[in-house]
């Protein structure tokens, strides 16, 4: 409660939040299974009240973790797992990943589809459910997958799809970060490199992805930042920066220059890396 703070509306709103949290916990586990929005609408009257990291679902999940003697969920994947364990279905279809050049082995429909589109040099959208590490049938080839968020690199890579012979590009949608896509890659024989944006939020996101998946930074060093500044005329401030594990100088340089370098500003550099890797093979 201290972490969530007192909601707008004061003590009365706080009391309602607690009552709703207790009502949700009391309704679980669900014997028949039900989508999360249905549960939220039935108990609170708002189908979106249990979404994401809001205060109410945070209270509910902490209570459920305590009742089950489990750690409190730390990320979206763990939150979905806890909801599922209580008979609640989370949406795994609206979150999407745009991939290009991935050629997994196997007879799974996803593996076959990805190979077909990779041979055609076209990108394909898959859902979070389809890339679940628990889904059988997809066997990775050895190689390297490059991950990021903005669309520019993926679109640019598609223009030379014939060079994408054994590497892949993974671009995530606005509702999902790269690590759900990358979590199972190391044990499937793939390595991952990730790029982001030279802002406080981008560095934190990249550090999280690296810690979760073993990914390596892609053009995210202090020298990369300095070189990119020459192509940035105007940009918003980067936010408050903190040290990152892959480059001890990066946060100091960003704080000193006070300019955010977004991935779209260095698209040509990233595409050159892809071309060089393809040519080397």
Q: Both 118 and 193 in a single domain?
A: yes
Residue range 233-253, pLDDT digits in tens: 777 888 888 888 889 999 899
Most confident option among 71-75, 144-148, 200-204, 217-221: 71-75
What is the Rg, in whole angstroms, of the alpha carbon atoms belonging to the chain? 21
20 plus 66 within the same structural domain: yes
The span from the CA of 190 to the CA of 180, in Å, is 14
Residue 64 burial (10 A CB sphere; 0-12, 13-18, 19+): buried
What domain range includes position 239? 96-280
CA quadruple 39, 37, 208, 105: dihedral sign: positive
Domain end among 39, 65, 89: 89
Asked whether residue 5 is domain-assigned, the answer is no
Number of domains in the chain: 2
Exposure of 144 by Cβ count < 10 A (0-12 exposed, 13-18 middle, 19+ buried)? middle
Buried b (16+ CB within 10 A) or exposed e, 85-105: ebebbbebeebbbbbbbbbbe
Q: What pLDDT is recorded for position 67?
A: 95
Q: Among 273, 85, 121, 99, which Cα is nearest to 181's?
A: 99
User: pLDDT tens digit string along 54-107?
Assistant: 889 999 999 999 999 999 998 888 898 899 999 998 876 777 777 777 787 788
CATH number at 242 reads: 3.40.1360
Cα–Cα distance, 90 to 213 (Å, whole number) = 23
- The rounded mean pLDDT for the chain is 75
Q: Which of 44, 62, 89 is the last residue of a domain?
A: 89
Of residues 219 and 145, more confidently modeled:
219
pLDDT in tens, 7-42: 566 778 888 999 999 999 999 998 878 899 999 999
**Per the domain annotation, does 71 fall within a domain?**
yes
Q: How far apart are CA 225 and CA 193, in angstroms?
A: 17
- Which tens digit of pLDDT belongs to each residue from 124-178? 888 877 766 555 445 555 455 555 554 444 444 443 343 344 444 554 444 444 4
- Domain stops at, among 89, 113, 146: 89
Q: Whose CA is closest to 202, among 214, 218, 190?
A: 218
């Amino acid at each position: 409660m201290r972490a969530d703070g007192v909601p707008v509306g004061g003590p009365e709103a706080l009391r309602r939040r607690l009552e709703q949290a207790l009502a949700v916990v009391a309704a679980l586990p669900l014997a028949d299974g039900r989508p999360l929005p249905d549960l939220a609408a039935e108990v609170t009257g708002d189908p979106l009240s249990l979404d994401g990291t809001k205060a109410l679902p945070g209270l509910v999940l902490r209570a459920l973790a305590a009742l089950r003697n489990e750690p409190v969920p730390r990320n979206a994947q763990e939150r979905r797992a806890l909801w599922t364990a209580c008979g609640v279905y989370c949406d795994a279809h609206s979150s999407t990943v745009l991939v290009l050049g991935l050629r997994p082995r196997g007879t799974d429909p996803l593996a076959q589809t990805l190979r077909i589109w990779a041979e055609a040099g076209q990108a394909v959208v898959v859902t979070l459910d389809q890339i679940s590490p628990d889904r059988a049938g997809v066997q990775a080839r050895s190689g390297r997958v490059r991950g990021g968020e903005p669309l520019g690199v993926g679109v640019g890579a598609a223009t030379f799809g014939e060079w994408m012979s054994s590497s892949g590009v993974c671009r995530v949608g606005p509702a999902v970060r790269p690590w759900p896509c990358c979590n199972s890659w190391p044990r499937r024989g793939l390595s991952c490199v990730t790029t982001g944006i030279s802002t406080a939020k981008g560095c934190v996101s990249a550090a999280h992805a690296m810690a979760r998946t073993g990914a390596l930074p892609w053009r995210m060093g202090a020298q990369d930042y300095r070189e990119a500044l020459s192509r940035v005329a105007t940009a918003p401030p980067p936010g408050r920066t903190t040290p990152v594990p892959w480059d001890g100088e990066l946060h100091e340089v960003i704080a000193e220059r006070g300019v955010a370098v977004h991935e779209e500003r260095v698209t040509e550099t990233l595409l050159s890396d892809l071309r060089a890797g393809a040519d080397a093979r």
